Structures are given as structure tokens and as C-alpha cells.
Structure 1
Amino acid sequence: MVSEVHRQNPELLKIGGFDEFIKIRPDDHLPGKKGGGVLIYAHEIFKAARLDVPFLTEYDEIMWVILKPRRLPRKFTGIALCVYYYSPGQASEYRQAFVEKLQLSSDFVLGKYPSCGIFMMGDANELKLHHLDAGIGLKQLVNFPTTKGGTSLDRISTNMHEFYNIPTTGAPVGGSYHFSLELNPTCSIKIDYTTTVTISRPITSEGLLTFGQWLSCEKWEKFQDAKSSNEKATIFQEALLHNYKACFPEKSTKRFSSDRPYITQEVKKMVMEKRRLFRHGNTQQAKLRKVTRKHANKYVERKVNHLFESKPSQSYNRIKRMRGKVEKGVDFGIDEDDVVTADSLNKHLGNIVQSLPPLLSVGIPTPPPESFDFPLISESQVFFKLKRLKRASITPVDIPIDLIKAFPDYLSGPLTLLFNQVTKTGEYPSIWKNGFITPIPKKDAPNDFSGVRPITMTPIFSKVYESFVAAWLKDRILDKIDPRQFGNMPNTSTSHYLLLYTFQCFIDIECKT
């Protein structure tokens, strides 16, 4: 229960079975309002504690209390309750300062308790707080008059709005000008959590040993007997994929949409154990916090830190995921299974290409081609290419890049034979021509096919061979390209073009003057 209070004697406000938290306005309050303050009553079962927020002084009629109910929805670990009172008729500088104090204090609480539910309630009078609510993901629940004069001055904003009904009004307490507001939870809590079952093949030490033993004993007889490069590539790819699946069995992992990205199966088992102990009266959870913090720090080091300078927007999105702000999924509005939706999306993307007119065959004068003998690829070159592969997404016909980097000495031999045969015959393997398309949203939560764009992935070994071809072509054509060409050129970017354009503009201005 929260209220504005007009008495300074705390003994008159005691209620049995409730913890009382009160903040009295000092006599030298800047706006000149003496006496009174804000008050919170919390039942003893909630184990409430007042939060010491460093940004708030005794003159700020803002108070925060943390509640620890026994049971909460999955994504919340506690409830942070803020009660405030803004005296009407103050100057604009006081109004702005009060809103800033609410913003700073809410940021501090969310930084300290990132998974807590937030309730901010009080008498706002002429304050405009919709920007504050939107910034921290709160929803204002009061949309009706709360005073005898028909004005709506009282606010209840929360990020747990799906678990509560619209507040109801009651008779004023004593001679108050405000109605009392009652907020009740929904009778049946229905949480829209989506469950995702991820099928993976964890790389274990036992699997690495078995896979390495197979590679070391494999003679690649069928591979060497194959005549065409297409057959060689198919045999090589299928053999790797078959033994990869045999050495690394599938493992299914169930995740909820509310799970933080750093929550692993180890942490989930500890959560279940903590709940079991809690039901028996054991509230020790220091070990769980330590392990969770360790996984969170590892996630930040692996996924976030390197993005702050190179891709700040992506680092911000990763941090939002850590705080539990799950991005909305893609809903195309098709009441069919995933296979039908994928086929429809494939037809849509294919129609875009087919609708484009063919390129006109314009005769462009070209000099006669120079004779060029492609160099042979050595096994050491392939070895270093495989060893230096960067972690990236793979296609369904590939084995993990970590596995390729673990055994480059065994894989470089057959790959060298295959690469040189492709170069010699000019026959590119069909399995390397297949692209696997992933739709990427152009905007947040697209609702139709026009809101996505296709990203095509090709097999890893195809990219390795293409890197050799690209190096050969660069040696032949780089010295013939216009020096003002910045696109698709090494060590250049749009910044170089902008500098050149700005420099040319300055020259033109000087010539005119």
C-alpha cells in the first residue's frame, strides 16, 4: 500500500504485520511545502527493504523499496516499488529536475536488479512522464479520473502489466481529494512464452578423439578413384558429414523466450535445485549467483566487448537481450506450418528475380585475352587457409569450423587435390553451387514477405577455393582499376570516397572565387 502522508509522527502510522517505509519532507523543502512525504506499507511476507539510491537527497520525494515475494513469473526475480509525490505549482526547473531524478533512480535500480519488475506510482500532478515510461518499458495503467474534480493525477506504471487488471477506484481515505486505487492481479496468469527446441551436436573431447582417429586412418580411396571434380567433392563432403554425425550425437536443448542468452543447462539445473531447496526452507543461493555471473561475464567477453568499437548498434542489441528485452519474432500472418511458409517465402523471393528484365547484350570492345596459367595450389597453402578460418555461419552440408581448424593437417591433402582438379578442368562441383537462403528482417517484426531480404550462404570449402581465385584475379587486375574506385577494394571504404568528394568540392569553390 502506498500513499502520500501529511503527518510527521511515524508512531501514528504503524500497522500490525506490515513493514513501514516513510520519507518525510524536510522543513526547508525548496518549494516551501513543509511536512508530509511519501509512505509505503509492505506485508512482512514480502521481506521488503528500502533501496539507498545515491542520486536522491532528502529533498526528493521519491522512495524505492525492493520486494521479494515467494513466487514470481519466470522472468522476474523481485519487484522494485517506487512511490513519489510532485508538489503542484512549482517552477519549470524543479519540474525538469524531478523528472531527471526519476530517470536516474530508475536506471540505477535496473542496473542493480536487471531482472526485477518495476512499479512507479504516485501523484504526478502536472508532470509529463510518458517519455520516462517508454524509455524503460513501462505501461501506464490508470486511464480514468482519480480525483473528485474529474482529473487524472495519480499514476501506476509497470513492466508487469500483463499480470494485472485495470485498477479500480474506491472511496477517498479520510478527507482526501483523491480516490483510492486498487490494483489486483489477473485471476489466471497466462504467460505468452515461446519454447524453442534447439538441436545441436556439442563437440566433446571423446568425439574429437574418435573423429581424429578416423581422419588419420582414412585413405580416401573412393575419393581418389573418382574421375570428375563433382564426384570428388560429393564423396569428400558426404564422408565428413557422415562421420561428424556418428562421432558427435545430437543433443536437444529447450529454451524459453524469457531466458537470458548466457543461461546454460548448468545454470538451469542449479535453478531447479535452488527451488527444491527453497521449498524445504533452505534459501542459500550464493553459489547460483556466482555461477550465473561467471556465465554472464563470459558471454560479455565473447559476444559484446569486441562490438563496442566496430559495431556499437549490435553491442547495444546484445545488452538488451541480456536484460531480457526479447525482440519480437517474425509473423507473416500465415496459419500454416513452417514448411508451407518456407515454400511461400521461397516463391516470393524467386518471383522478384524473375520479374527483373534480362540484361541487354551490349557490345563492349575488349582487348584479346592474355594467356594465363593458373598456379598450382600447395598443401601448405590449404593448411594455413583452414587454420586461419574465422568463425562464421555454416550450411547444413558443412562440418563445424572449429572441427576443421582442429584437423587442418588431415583435411588439407584431399582438398588440395580437389582444388587443383577444379582449376585444371574448370568443372565447379555442383554441391558448391547450392546456396542456403536465410531471410533477414529489414525492420523490426516484419508482418509480410516484403519485410525480409535473403542472405545466401555457400559451403565453407567453396569459400576457401574462392579465396584462392580472388587472390589470383587481384594480382592481374588491381593495377588496371581506376584509383578512384573505392567499392569492393581492399583497405578502402566509403569514408575515402567522402574525403575525395569533399576535397573536390573545396577545389571547385576555390576556382569560382
Structure 2
Amino acid sequence: MCIGTPVHMFYHRQTLLQWRNQPENTLPDEVLQTLLELSRLRDPGRQPAVFPDAGAQRKCHHKRCECKRKRGKRAGIRARLKASPSQPAIPSLFLANVCSLDNKLDYIRLQQTTQREFRDCCALVFVESWLNDNIPDSAIQLAGLTAFRADRSAALSGKTHGGGVCVYINTEWCNNAVTVAKHCSPLVEFLIVKCRPFYLVREFSAVLIAAVYIPPSASIGANAKEALCELYRSISDLQNKHPDGLFIIAGDFNHANLKSVLPKFHQHVDFATRGASALDLVYTNIPSAYRAEPRPHLAFSDHMCVWLTPTYTPLIRRSRPVQKQVKTWPAGSISALQDSFECTAWDMFREAATEGDSVDLEEYAASVTGYISKCIDDVTVSKTITTRPNQKPWMTTEVRALLRTRDSAFRVGDKVALRKARADLSRAIREAKRTHAQRIHSHFKDTGDARRMWQGIQAITNYRTMPPSCERDASLPDALNNFYARFEAQNNTMVRKTMPKPDEQVLCLTAVDVRNTLRRVNPRKAAGPDNIPGRVLRECADQLTDVLTDIFNISLCSATVPMCLKSTTIAPVPKKSTVSCLNDYRPVALTPIIMKCFERLVMRNIKTRLPSSLDPLQFAYRPNRSTDDAITTTLHLSLTHLEKKDTYVRMLL
């Protein structure tokens, strides 16, 4: 066999790249022959590759439907928790029944070293720690964690072995944690730790973590009820102290059900933790707070571990800020409005609407109401108010200004100004909270004002009603108008105007009656289409009495009501949360307050002409009467009659 001598050829990299992009017929003959022998030439039908410029960047535009990875996979709950493990909306939690914590410390330290999820966990809750006074705190310390323990007491529980709970708080998440409650009895053992982390969503004032252990012998029957009542008393006291706190109750409940005493709490563990039973449970006072996942047993423990990933969405992200336009009344605006009406020559409005001997009531009333509305716009200031879902009730304009001052001092880097701004902000917050508390206490001073008392109860209990939202359909107003006017569409009777007879005495209103009616206007009533609030009619009653009395008397003499006073704004209010048809909307009519005063004056005159022989059991269209009075009277008469022997009552409703 003949073996040829190997050929060694050396070329520069740039030369080879140039040859690669050149056609074959431009290469030197010796190089072409060598490449043919080495089988390094490309296929004849293959085109040379085109390489982009190194400095140019290729932009690839993909449609959303062409993405292989589903949207949200890289921005899910786990990804957010992994990106900022020490700043979650609510703390991540790890729950385990360790059955002797001292024997599992090496395994827990190994978990800390090898598993990032375990290392970044905000709180570790261990039950059945089996610790005693012979084991010091230094023996159970873990790196980066603060330990809180509640050992079983033989004097209180009657048992010398087992039991005990322990809570570890990650210092990177919270370094301000204290024990607020400990309890040990033969029925239940628990430890409650209050945490105030540096990063906490505004709707929560603190995080209270409770580690609970209920022995198997105390989790059935009357013992379970008594054990849960002992836990309920402590939780209830803390809820009174921290009404805006986040409560996390985790532990081994065995077969006890915490919802029997705390029905508003929500349970998050939905799998078995020992055999076929779910014994290790986690309760919180907010729904959908966590997603529970099983984890392997710690060493030789007979309970599975529970990892809880926070799924809570803060209010600031869950609900958008609400903006609304409001009219504010600066200081002295009412006095300026009174002076403007006092100097107004109201006779010129009547003269402008008079032709010969007749007065155009439509023009007269429209010009007067339009002028009043224009004067109101001149003295008031329109503002856009932004209401955020997590806004504190004691927040004031002064506190917001001091917050901006503190932030600007921090950005500039002025330490002296920052120290002063922080001190001013702290004082302003304390004063705002004190003022808010005094305002709530003032609701209960007058026991006869039921409305203010109810407002105080709503403020204390944080009672909020979520009104059902209407459909955002452009055709809904027309459909509602046709629905509400369906009865008038079938009415073919022509409207006939009945003029008073010449010898008939027409009702004439006096200025005194009109002034008294205007002064009794409720300023909280919503204005009608004319945008004249009740506050203006009440405060400027003396200035508006003459012109309104003239309009009312002309309307009575001509038996005509101006169109501007008859117009009404219909606000559809859903009767229930889910609207299925047009009948589920309740029409609320907002009529001009001036027209309400006119109707009240006419009604008072009509009542004086009614006979005094009205049925005393008539509750409709009677002052200070309501359906409550009708029900109370009916029950009183029925029960009084049933007290007699051999009697019965039949009600036809």
C-alpha cells in the first residue's frame, strides 16, 4: 500500500472568508484544484450565503398568534416572586409538621443551601417542634431567619412531651416582628407573630402569622369547639386592634374546622397532607390569597409539607383609579353669589320675555334658570378628583403636599431638608389620624341623628358597597327610553288644557311661603338638568324669592308649566348585580329642585282643601308615614286580637 505525504496548507481566516463568498471561476487554478481534491467545494446548484453586516441588527417582527410561548409564562406568579422574593404583596409561606425540630435542623439548613425557593421564603411555620427549656434559642437559629417559639408547658397542658410551635421570619422580608400572643392548654397551642415589613401594600396595616397545633384528642366533638373558641378569642382581640391587618393562621388542625368560629376566613390547602386527610391547613381573611402546592416530607416526618405561593393582587393593580369632576365652593363664594343676585335686576328678564300683554313663560323661566346656573359656574371651581382603591380615609391635601416635599428633598440629596420634611410629614400624619378619629367620634354624639350614626358605623367597620355597573352600550339609553315610555305609546288621548274660569279664584303664592320653602330645601339632594343645587336655593332664598314667586304665579294663572322645569334626567340603577333584561333597571328621576319646591307649595294648598275624614290607617301619601308603620300597626292589631280566646286572624295581601 502506498501512502502519500500529507499536504499542509495554511491560509489566513479573512482570505478563506473572501473565497467563500466569491464564485468558483474567480479563484486561482491551484487553489481550485486543491479544494477539489479535498472535497471542500460547495454543490454546484447551491447559492453563496449572504452574511449581514456585523453592525446591523436584525429586527424580527412576530405576530401575537405566532409566539410559541404563551403570554404570561415569563411574567407569572412564580417569576414575579423569583424576581423580588423580599417584596411580595403578601408573604410566601412554608408549613410543615416536623415532629421534632431539633432533629430536622440539618435537613432544613441543607434545604436553605440547595433550594432557592426555601431560602427566599418569607415565613416558615413549624408545628410539633418538641422543643423544651433545655434547648436554647441559639441551638435552633438559622441563617437569615429570626426564630419565635412557643414550647409546650407541662404545667399548662398536662403533657411533658410533644407539641410546641415555631415560626421563622426572613429578615430580608421583615426585620420588625414581635410576638403578640402565646397560648398553651390541653386543647390547643398557638403562637401569633405580628410583622410590619418595610414593603407592605397600603390596604394592610400589618401581617399577623399564627402557628396553631390542635392535638388529635382535642380535634373532635366538644373539645374541638372549645379549642377553636380559645383561638377565636385571641384572633378576635387582634382583629379589633388591627382591623386592616392580614391574618394568616397556619398549622396542624387535625379534624377541627376553623370556619365554624371564623366563617369569613378562607382555607387554601386543597390536598391531603397525611394519608388521605388534609390535616395541615392555612386560613386567611382574604379570598384567593395563596395557591398551595405539596412538597416532600422533611426527613422522616409523616406529614407532607405545604408551600404557599402568594396570588394576591393589590388593590392598586386590581382596580383602576376613579376620576370624577366635582364643583368646589371656595371661601366666600356663597357671599359673592348672594351679592350678585342682590344686584341683579330681575325685571329685565320678564321685560325681555313680554310681548304686548302676554309673558312668554318658557323664555322667562329658561333665562332665569340659565342666569342662576351661569353665576354658580362663575363662583365655583371645577376640579378632577382621583380616588384610588387603596387610599386611606385620613389622607389630606396637607399630607400629600408634605409627601411631595419629602420626595423632592430625597431626590436632590439635601439631608437637612430631608430630615425636616420627614419630621413634618410624621406630625402631619398623626394630626390627620387624630382629626379623622374625632370626626368618627362626632357621629355618635347626637343619638337622635340616625344617619350620622350609620355613617360612623360604616367608617368603623369599613363597610363598602359595590354598585353594579351598567352596560356600556350606546343603544342602551334609547332602549330604556322606549321601555319606560311603552305605556304612553298606547295612549291616543289628546291632551286638553283646562283654563280657569273668569270668575274662578286662581291660587296665588305669597313670597313668604316661597321663601320658607326654599329655606327648607335639603342641600344634599341631587340637582336636576338645570344644574342648580339645593345649597344655592337654600342660602340665597332671600335673593331668589321674588323672581321665583313671579314665575310660579304666572304658571298657575296660565295653567302651564315651563319645559325647563318639567325636564327630568332618568338615571337607570340596576336592581341586582347581574342584569338580564331592561326590567332589571330601576328608573330614578332627577327633577329640578325649583320644580320640587313648586310642587310642594301646590300640594300644601291641595291638602288644606281635603276633608278631615281620612282613614287613620292610610299610610300612603301621608307625612311621617311609611311601610314600616303599616307593618308595625298590622302586627300590633293582629297580636292584640290573638290574645283573646278562640280567635284567629286572616290577612289578604
How far off its partner does 1:126 sit? Answer: 0.9
Distance 1:30 1:447 in 2: 58
Query: Does the CA-based 8 Å contact 2:248-2:284 persist in structure 1?
Result: yes
Equivalent position of 1:126 in the other structure: 255
Query: Does the CA-based 8 Å contact 1:199-1:250 persist in structure 2?
Result: yes
Q: Find 1:115's aligned residue among 244, 247, 269.
A: 244
Q: How far does the alpha carbon of each residue in 1:166-208 deviate from its partner, in whole angstroms, 9 at most, with x for none?
A: 2332222243222222223469989211221111111011433
Query: Does the CA-based 8 Å contact 2:483-2:582 persist in structure 1?
Result: no
Identity fraction in percent: 20
Equivalent position of 2:323 in the other structure: 197
How far off its partner does 1:396 sit? Answer: 4.2
Q: Is 1:215 aligned to 2:341, yes or no?
A: yes
Q: Is 1:251 aligned to 2:380, yes or no?
A: no
Q: Find 2:364's aligned residue among 228, 232, 235.
A: 232
How far off its partner does 1:238 sit? Answer: 0.6
Equivalent position of 1:171 in the other structure: 296
How far off its partner does 1:14 sit? Answer: 2.5
Q: How far does the alpha carbon of each residue in 1:83-127 deviate from its partner, in whole angstroms, 9 at most, with x for none?
A: 212212225233223333444433333332222322221112112
Distance 2:448 2:646 in 1: 45
Distance 1:276 1:22 in 2: 43
Deviates more, 1:409-418 or 1:108-117: 108-117
Equivalent position of 1:291 in the other structure: 432
Equivalent position of 2:227 in the other structure: 98
Q: Find 1:67's aligned residue among 169, 177, 195.
A: 195
Structure 1 510/94 Cα, relative in aligned 2: closer, same or farther at 3 Å? closer
Counterpart amino acid of 1:24? Answer: D
How far off its partner does 1:462 sit? Answer: 0.7
Equivalent position of 1:182 in the other structure: 307
Summarize the alignment of residues 48-63 of structure 1 with structure 2, pairs less than 5 Å apart. Answer: 48-50=176-178, 52=180, 57-59=183-185, 60-63=188-191
Partner secondary structure for residue 210 of structure 1 = helix
Structure 1 372/40 Cα, relative in aligned 2: closer, same or farther at 3 Å? farther
Q: Is 1:411 aligned to 2:544, yes or no?
A: yes
Q: How far does the alpha carbon of each residue in 1:239-286 deviate from its partner, in whole angstroms, 9 at most, with x for none?
A: 111121122121111112333556444444455567778997958735
Query: Does the CA-based 8 Å contact 1:223-1:232 persist in structure 2?
Result: yes
Equivalent position of 1:460 in the other structure: 593
Equivalent position of 2:171 in the other structure: 44
Equivalent position of 1:423 in the other structure: 556
Structure 1 115/85 Cα, relative in aligned 2: closer, same or farther at 3 Å? same
Q: Is 1:443 aligned to 2:576, yes or no?
A: yes
Query: Does the CA-based 8 Å contact 1:270-1:288 persist in structure 2?
Result: no
Distance 1:345 1:131 in 2: 47
Partner secondary structure for residue 610 of structure 2 = helix
Distance 1:269 1:98 in 2: 50
How far off its partner does 1:291 sit? Answer: 0.1
Distance 2:284 2:581 in 1: 31
Counterpart amino acid of 2:303? Answer: H
How far off its partner does 1:477 sit? Answer: 1.7
Query: Does the CA-based 8 Å contact 1:328-1:444 persist in structure 2?
Result: no
Equivalent position of 1:432 in the other structure: 565
Deviates more, 1:2-11 or 1:44-53: 44-53
Partner secondary structure for residue 42 of structure 1 = strand
Q: How far does the alpha carbon of each residue in 1:37-70 deviate from its partner, in whole angstroms, 9 at most, with x for none?
A: 22211133513333546xx754352332221222
Q: Find 1:330's aligned residue among 435, 445, 468.
A: 468
CA RMSD in angstroms, aligned pairs only: 3.8
Distance 1:419 1:311 in 2: 35
Summarize the alignment of residues 223-372 of structure 1 with structure 2, pairs less than 5 Å apart. Answer: 223-225=349-351, 226=353, 227-260=359-392, 263-270=395-402, 285=426, 287-295=428-436, 297-298=438-439, 301=442, 309=450, 319-320=460-461, 323=462, 326-331=464-469, 334=471, 338=472, 340-341=473-474, 343-348=475-480, 350-351=482-483, 353-354=485-486
Query: Does the CA-based 8 Å contact 1:345-1:449 persist in structure 2?
Result: no
Equivalent position of 2:37 in the other structure: none
How far off its partner does 1:331 sit? Answer: 4.3
Distance 2:404 2:555 in 1: 55
Distance 1:428 1:507 in 2: 50
Query: Does the CA-based 8 Å contact 2:532-2:592 persist in structure 1?
Result: no
Structure 1 352/231 Cα, relative in aligned 2: closer, same or farther at 3 Å? closer
Distance 1:508 1:457 in 2: 46
Deviates more, 1:303-312 or 1:183-192: 303-312
Distance 2:300 2:143 in 1: 23
Equivalent position of 2:206 in the other structure: 78
How far off its partner does 1:27 sit? Answer: 1.5
TM-score norm. by structure 1 comes to: 0.81
Distance 2:570 2:327 in 1: 22
Query: Does the CA-based 8 Å contact 1:133-1:139 persist in structure 2?
Result: no
Larger radius of gyration: 2
TM-score norm. by structure 2 comes to: 0.65
Equivalent position of 1:488 in the other structure: 621
Q: Is 1:503 aligned to 2:642, yes or no?
A: no
Counterpart amino acid of 1:44? Answer: T
How far off its partner does 1:445 sit? Answer: 5.9
Partner secondary structure for residue 217 of structure 2 = coil
Distance 2:382 2:455 in 1: 30
Q: Is 1:2 aligned to 2:121, yes or no?
A: no
Query: Does the CA-based 8 Å contact 2:323-2:386 persist in structure 1?
Result: yes
Counterpart amino acid of 2:131? Answer: R
Partner secondary structure for residue 318 of structure 2 = coil
How far off its partner does 1:447 sit? Answer: 6.6
Partner secondary structure for residue 205 of structure 1 = coil
Q: How many residues align?
A: 490
Structure 1 alignment gaps of length 5 or more: 362-368
Query: Does the CA-based 8 Å contact 2:292-2:308 persist in structure 1?
Result: yes
Equivalent position of 1:150 in the other structure: 276
Q: Is 1:400 aligned to 2:525, yes or no?
A: no
Distance 1:93 1:275 in 2: 57
Counterpart amino acid of 2:619? Answer: F
Distance 2:576 2:445 in 1: 22
Counterpart amino acid of 1:143? Answer: D
Partner secondary structure for residue 193 of structure 2 = strand
Q: How far does the alpha carbon of each residue in 1:189-245 deviate from its partner, in whole angstroms, 9 at most, with x for none?
A: 892112211111110114334323322211124422221333222111111111211
How far off its partner does 1:467 sit? Answer: 1.0
Q: Is 1:472 aligned to 2:605, yes or no?
A: yes
Structure 2 alignment gaps of length 5 or more: 1-123, 354-358, 412-417, 494-500, 648-653
Distance 2:312 2:623 in 1: 62
